[in-house]
Structure 1
């Protein structure tokens, strides 16, 4: 399992993230405080809100997904 911290600025960022996550053939979860959300669920992701630092937990490898995570990396 790999963990990274990310943060979204707008709903378009969330939509792009969910679309890319949906192309991965492994499990991807988002953790905020004690809440876990499937990263492939647009409704679940939008329910978390914006401008929060989120933790991504994933269980596979995909170069395009990794590149996208760097773009959304929390400062």
Structure 2
């Protein structure tokens, strides 16, 4: 899965599961500040990503994630 495909998957999850406006989702946005994702939502996001990819993101790796771009990088490394 390439980075563009990962971005599309993440965007779909954020739009469908968290009701975030697709226009607000860019690679540069801060997941917590700009998209109002809290720690409980972050856990839900990890669960949705595991369901979509079949892979679990290590909690230590997820702690480093601040932006959509960071999340894409973690997922790309995990999936490839």
Given the two structures, how large is their TM-score scaled by the length of structure 2?
0.34
More helix by share: 2
More strand by share: 1
Given the two structures, how large is their TM-score scaled by the length of structure 1?
0.35
